[in-house]
């Protein structure tokens, strides 16, 4: 990484990698202050939507030095898109972060159409954005994280053999719930910020029902935002209501599930949600 970017994202390396499915990804690896894998290995926290989130979340790695509330050491791996695809990350995430077969809510389509009417988005951009949702492959992206990317991180950065985490926000939060519901033992904790459960027929509800009474052993922390719930934008209202409904269905079953209501909007809630995840699931 250039000297300029090192000044903004200290202790961060960048590389690009092609998945087994033929998609290219940009990867930012941020190591803890004073990290020396030869002395002590650290687990990995995977953070989704790297093109947007790395600048807001990677600097929080200094919480590992906070004398008032430090968190356990971790290596942050932010996963985004590379090359020319990086400018299209907003639509490509629909392909990677949404579970296969996820319904497209009318309120979501309406929000996209509104962006066309207001001139925020062109017709072609909106059509491409919605097209990615019609062939979503969250299952393939989960395989990329655990089977393709992680072995390289473990080899080149000396990651610990266990204790790994996953954090996603919005559709990344939906993906986090999907990963949690797969019962994979790869992640020790999962953070789902304002998960994009826009439709009551979401795959996460179906998977939760099929799971029965037993919940995954992986710790789950869910956040959503007060101003999503109390605002007047239908897609965000539904997202918050459905996230609350999902949590209510978990509460009756017990299990390692925590949650927090944040005083943010959907856009401003990202950093607060990640910090809530760190404080709750990775406290020293």
Query: CB burial class (10 A; 0-12, 13-18, 19+) of residue 155?
Result: exposed
Is residue 10 within 8 A of residue 32, CB to CB? The reply is: no
142, containing H or E segment: helix 138-143
Name which of 159, 160, 158, 179 is nearest 168 in CA terms.
179
Domain ranges for the chain: 3-98+137-281
Helices (H), 252-268: none
pTM above 0.85, yes or no: yes
269, containing H or E segment: helix 269-281
How far apart CA 31 and CA 46 sit, in angstroms, is: 12
* HEC assignment per residue over 151-201: HHHHHHHCECCCCEEEEEECHHHHHHHHHHHCCCCCEEEEEEECCCCCCCC
Please give the radius of gyration of the chain, using alpha carbons only, rounded to the nearest integer.
Answer: 18
Instruction: Give the pLDDT confidence of 16-71 residue by residue, as tens digits.
Output: 999 988 899 999 999 998 888 888 899 999 999 999 999 999 999 999 888 898 89
Name which of 284, 224, 213 is nearest 251 in CA terms.
213
pLDDT of residue 135: 81
pLDDT of residue 76: 98
How far apart CA 132 and CA 48 sit, in angstroms, is: 17
Please state, rounded to an integer, the average pLDDT across all residues of the chain: 90
Name which of 234, 146, 228, 133 is nearest 186 in CA terms.
146
* CATH T-level topology, domain 3-98+137-281: Rossmann fold (3.40.50)
pLDDT of residue 145: 97
Is residue 178 within 8 A of residue 142, CB to CB? The reply is: yes
Q: pLDDT higher for 4 or 190?
A: 190
Beta strands 24-30 and 12-18: pairing type? Answer: antiparallel
How far is C-alpha 227 from the chain's CA centre? Answer: 20
Segment 117-128 mean pLDDT: 78
Q: pLDDT higher for 233 or 146?
A: 146
End-to-end Cα distance, the chain = 30
How far apart CA 108 and CA 112 sit, in angstroms, is: 6
Q: Is the pLDDT of residue 7 over 70?
A: no
pLDDT of residue 126: 74
Q: Is the pLDDT of residue 153 over 90?
A: yes
Query: What three-state secondary structure class fits 130?
Result: helix
Q: What b-and-e string marks burial along 68-101, b requiring 16 or more CB atoms within 10 Å of the CB?
A: eeebbbbbbbbbbbbeebbeebbbbbbbbbbbee
Query: CB burial class (10 A; 0-12, 13-18, 19+) of residue 122?
Result: exposed
Q: What are the tokens at 54?
A: 């790395």
């Amino acid at each position: 990484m250039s000297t300029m970017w090192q000044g903004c994202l200290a202790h961060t390396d960048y590389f690009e990698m092609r998945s087994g499915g033929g998609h290219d990804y940009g990867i930012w690896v941020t190591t803890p202050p004073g990290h020396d894998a030869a002395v002590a290995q650290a687990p990995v926290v995977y953070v989704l939507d790297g093109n947007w989130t790395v600048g807001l979340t990677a600097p929080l790695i200094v919480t590992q030095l906070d004398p008032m509330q430090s968190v356990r050491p971790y290596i942050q791996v932010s996963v985004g898109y590379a090359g020319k695809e990086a400018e299209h990350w907003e639509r490509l995430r629909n392909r990677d972060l949404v579970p296969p077969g996820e319904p497209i809510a009318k309120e979501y389509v309406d929000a996209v159409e509104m962006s066309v009417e207001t001139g925020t988005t062109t017709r072609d951009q909106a059509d491409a954005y919605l097209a990615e949702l019609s062939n979503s492959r969250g299952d393939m992206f989960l395989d990329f994280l655990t089977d393709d990317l992680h072995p390289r991180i473990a080899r080149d950065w000396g990651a610990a053999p266990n204790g790994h985490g996953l954090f996603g926000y919005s559709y990344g939060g939906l993906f986090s719930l999907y990963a949690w519901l797969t019962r994979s033992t790869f992640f020790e904790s999962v953070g789902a910020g304002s998960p994009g459960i826009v439709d009551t027929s979401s795959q996460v509800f179906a998977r939760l029902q099929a799971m029965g009474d037993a919940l995954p052993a992986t710790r789950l922390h869910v956040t959503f935002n007060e101003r999503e719930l109390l605002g007047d934008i239908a897609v965000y209202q539904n997202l918050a209501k459905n996230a609350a409904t999902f949590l209510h269905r978990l509460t009756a079953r017990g299990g390692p599930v925590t949650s927090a209501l944040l005083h943010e909007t959907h856009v401003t809630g990202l950093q607060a949600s990640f910090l809530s995840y760190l404080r709750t699931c990775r406290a020293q």
